[in-house]
Structure 1
Amino acid sequence: MARKKVALRYIRNDSTRLNTLKKRTKNLMKKAGEVATLCNAKACVLVYGEGAMVPEVFPSHAEAMAILSRFESMPEVPQLKKKMDQETILSRCLIQLRHQVEKIRCEREDREARILLHKAMVSGHLPGNIEELTTMARKLELILKSLRERITKITGQPPVYQAQAPYVTGGMDMGSPMYQALRQQQEGWLDMARSQGNPDTQIYNGHSTSL
């Protein structure tokens, strides 16, 4: 049975925390011994328990002191090449978390923009909220930019847009000749993009988006 992923957070129960420390310390020292044997390398482990004045040492106190003395006698550049303190580790973790948060935020905004576009297409009405309008306009501009790039790549020349009446907030006559002509023009572009079989292009309710 595969091991479950353990959440890296402080164990508040005293008994569980001490037992986990003993178990993990034993496994860590075992792994260090295996690395030293398999790779013919020098390795030592020092673990200070909670409130302990003397650490648990592997392989022995004398050998650990010899390894540490050899390490400290090395030139400063090789010594610090892969050495990290707690602050550096936490800073890297913080940067990774910020990237994850930014990625999730972008995905959420993209999903909300898609929903707004879908509602506008189905109902024929634009949202009255300025924030939703801005979000939808930004997403629509990205979709149009992607379409222009695809059409230019397929035909070898940029698309030519026909002049049309401005969209009136509050709805459009879906049966009007202007709307039908615009719809046919968009469908023609989309059919052209579909015919290329590009897996990077996804058609979403009449709009083309690049993943």
Structure 2
Amino acid sequence: MARKGERLKIQRITDEKRRKATLRKRLPIVVKKARELSILCNIPVCLIVYRPGEARPVVWPSPEAASNVVRRYRDLPDLDSCKNNLDIIDFLKQRNEKVRVKLSNVQRQTRDVEINLVLVDFLAGRRKSFDDLPIDIVTAVGSRVQDKLQAVKARLQELRSAAAPALLPPPPPAPVDVPMVDSLPMVQPHNGGYREMLDGNSLPTTEEMHALFVQAGIFPPSVPNQAP
């Protein structure tokens, strides 16, 4: 027996006589607790205890009521098994989705690298045509070049717009009356000689770049409009 104030250790009682005495003493308490739980919570409760050396178990509240509770328990689906199956299915779905997204990203990156290599080979002069490439690659290259041309065109317009105010000739100075000295003639720029360095005309136009890619076969040749 545990001393007063000392917690009893929950473990198997090694002494057989003490073990039987404890069962005989505590079993009525367990039956009482089961009855109280059933009444207080209004739930079906049954208790089946097999005592050592006895063939018939102790059943509460009755064999019929206990059989009904046990039957209801056996008729339940295997909840743990169903839950585990659902967890595995969800896990596999999530994993497949992650793999699909990762594969899509790798394919997109691979396609971008392939398109860039084709453009680099063409601009470096190592490729003269695109006849040996699949149609999807040619289409992707054409779309990429079209985007580049639009970006170059916008940049050229930006440069020319920024350089336009600097190309205007400065206003003539106000006349100053100086005795005995004739007015000096203003030196004008000779045929606008400093214009070409500032207005971006030395850069290739988008039309020239477009014609270059038409010649390479990326873009189809434009059909001239026929006069009526």
Q: TM-score if structure 1 supplies the norm length? A: 0.34
Q: TM-score if structure 2 supplies the norm length? A: 0.32
Greater per-residue strand proportion: 1
Mark the structure with the bigger radius of gyration.
2
- Bigger relative contact order (CA 8 A; separation at least 6): 2
